[in-house]
Amino acid sequence: MKPSLSIVKIGGNIIENEKELARFMILFSQIEGHKILVHGGGKKATSMAEKMGIKTTMVKGRRITDRKSLEVAVMIYGGLVNKSIVATLQALSCNAIGLSGADAGIIEAVKRPVESVDFGFVGDIVSVHTKALLNFVQTGLVPVFCALSHDGKGQLLNTNADTIASELAIALSEEYTTTLYYCFEKPGVLSDVASDNSVISHINKQTYYSLLKEQTIADGMLPKLENCFYALDHSVHKVCIGNMQMLLPHSTTYTTLTL
């Protein structure tokens, strides 16, 4: 039987709120067994870019990353946010190590090809090299990944944190029974977006297609659930979506996704 591994992706609204982030860190540090944390930091990057007079351009909710925007992303994601999280976890006796996809060559990507939109220095993941990562995890370290990858030729790339979490879970599923947690401000996938009390407790592939047909799942939840089922189709054991309360051992209010 394979050992278990929890991979938790933390949303930007939690990162932005100091009290919520502090609460999350305590809950994450208490997760038993092997674990990995993945984070973004887009709102902080946008705020810093504004202070530096750098315009942030979004197309359909996706960030255009020109050279100056990439420099800000590296400073905020790989620097301020990543190292602050690592320092907090160390204070909670959680032996964390901060990483980007470039460290030990773990996450390799290609610059997104230009089609209708030129997204700039945005990376689409092509491979996860697990050897060094497995060494970290197996020696008891807790990797904390920011939303940066590299192309193997010296270029850093801004990369979607949800996708990084999913690809890490897939890559490590040969060695571990992987559970992927998408932790954001809502208690789960909602049947009524206006009511936090309408959490759908379990979604399988059949339910998923029904919810799509009914247009219960729409907007920003669409790419998130596409990511979830992509992971499940590639040997990830289980995916959970909800707020930080789902990390509590006996929590039941969140959405579990399985095949």
Query: For residue 202, what is the enclosing H or E element?
Result: strand 202-203
Q: Provide mean pLDDT across the span 76-86.
A: 97
Reported as a pLDDT band with limits 50, 70 and 90, residue 236 is: very high
Predicted local confidence at residue 111, as pLDDT: 97
DSSP state for residue 122 in the 8-state scheme: B
The whole-model pTM stands at 0.96
Helices (H), 96-219: 130-138, 161-172, 205-213
Look at 227 and 88; give whichever has higher pLDDT.
88
Predicted local confidence at residue 67, as pLDDT: 96
Question: Could you give the CA distance from residue 190 to residue 212 in angstroms, rounded to a whole number?
Answer: 13
Percent of the chain scoring above 90 in pLDDT:
85
pLDDT tens digits for range 194-223: 999 999 999 999 999 999 999 888 777 888
Question: Could you give the CA distance from residue 70 to residue 82 in angstroms, rounded to a whole number?
Answer: 16
Q: Two tokens at 258?
A: 């399985």
pLDDT tens digits for range 9-66: 998 889 999 999 999 999 999 999 999 999 998 889 889 989 999 988 888 777 899 9
Question: Could you give the CA distance from residue 4 to residue 201 in angstroms, rounded to a whole number?
Answer: 22
Question: Could you give the CA distance from residue 129 to residue 182 in angstroms, rounded to a whole number?
Answer: 22
Q: Provide mean pLDDT across the span 228-252.
A: 95
Q: Where are the domains of the chain?
A: 4-186+236-244
Which of 13-22, 88-97, 130-139 has the lowest average pLDDT? 13-22
pLDDT tens digits for range 98-112: 999 999 999 999 999
Helix (H, G, I), strand (E, B) or coil at 169: helix
Report, in angstroms and rounded to the nearest whole number, the Rg of the chain calculated over CA atoms: 18
Q: Provide mean pLDDT across the span 142-168.
A: 97
What kind of architecture, by CATH, is found in domain 4-186+236-244? 3-Layer(aba) Sandwich (3.40)
Q: What is the DSSP string of 47-86?
A: HHHHHTTPPPEEETTEEEB-HHHHHHHIIIIIIIIHHHHH
In angstroms, what CA-CA distances link 93 with 26, 88, 89, 98?
A: 10, 9, 6, 15
